Structure 1
Amino acid sequence: MDAYELFQLGRSLMKLGEQAIPEIGMRGLSGPTRAIVADIFEYPGSSISDITERVRFPQSQVSACVARLRDNDVVETVTDPRDRRRTLVRPTPTALERAKQRPPAPIDEALAKTLGS
């Protein structure tokens, strides 16, 4: 497998995963928003710059997304006490609790549909 084939496989797996996400989960979110939310949950307390570097979206897009997520009580932002120019982002306790209570998202049906079984 070469790098292009690996990239295509990754895209196919992401599409399969998106199909399997329940409607009440992150399915209604755009791909970039899902990537940003996933990054924030994986690396809580990260700066906007750190998130931007990892997800590879423009900083303006990440900042706008974080603002929308904050307005919807998904994340909270605080000023970095060590560098007051930086904003740190972390999931809210409410969002963490919702994530713990999310229903399972089996992939059997989406996989069978994709494979034609």
Structure 2
Amino acid sequence: MDGGRLHRLGKRLIELSAQVTGEPGDLSLTPGEAAVLEDVIKHPAGSISEICRRTGFAQSHVSASVSRLKERGLVTTATDPGDGRRTRVSVADSALQAITRRATRSIDEAIGRAIADPGKARRAADLLEELAGLLP
């Protein structure tokens, strides 16, 4: 497989992932908000500057994203007790529960729609499971 084919496969897998994890009424995030939220999930109680460093986004972008995520109840913020100028950001429990529910949805239906042959669809799902284990 060459890089171009891998890129196309990656894009197709992202499309399938969106079908599995997205349902009508689900919250939609901008790519920047999604990246900030993912960072906050991986690094609880991180500061705005730490999020900037890890994501590569400008401070103004991270601050605006955190503000929008907070308004939507997805993150909480607190003043750092050691430095009152610093804001610490954590994921809200309700957001983490919603993300977990979305992440645990089965891929079987989406794969079945993408690959009409049930046997080939099952094989594709099995191969994806194997690949996920090989590329942690």
Deviations 1:31-78 (A, max 9, x none): 221121111112110011111122222221111111011111111111
Opposite residue 65 of structure 2, the aligned amino acid is C
Opposite residue 77 of structure 2, the aligned amino acid is T
Report the CA distance between 1:20 and its aligned residue: 2.7
* 8 Å contact from structure 1 (residues 79, 85) kept in 2: yes
Distance 1:35 1:15, change over 3 A: farther
Structure 1 unaligned blocks of 5 or more: none
Q: What TM-score, normalized by structure 2, do the two folds share?
A: 0.63
Task: Tell me how many residue pairs correspond in the alignment.
Answer: 115
CA distance in 2, matches of 1:2, 1:85: 49
- How big is the alpha-carbon RMSD for the aligned residues of Structure 1 and Structure 2? 2.8
Residue 66 of structure 1 corresponds to 66
Distance 1:53 1:15, change over 3 A: farther
SS state of the match for residue 86, structure 1? strand
* 8 Å contact from structure 1 (residues 74, 95) kept in 2: yes
* Residue 47 of structure 2 is aligned to residue 47 of structure 1: yes
Superposition pairs of residues 29-108 of structure 1, within 5 angstroms: 29-100=29-100, 102-103=101-102, 104-108=104-108
SS state of the match for residue 83, structure 2? coil
Structure 2 unaligned blocks of 5 or more: 118-136
Q: What TM-score, normalized by structure 1, do the two folds share?
A: 0.71
Rg (Cα) greater in structure = 2
Distance 1:32 1:106, change over 3 A: farther
How many percent identity over aligned positions?
38
CA distance in 1, matches of 2:2, 2:80: 42
SS state of the match for residue 73, structure 1? coil
* 8 Å contact from structure 1 (residues 47, 87) kept in 2: yes
CA distance in 1, matches of 2:50, 2:13: 26
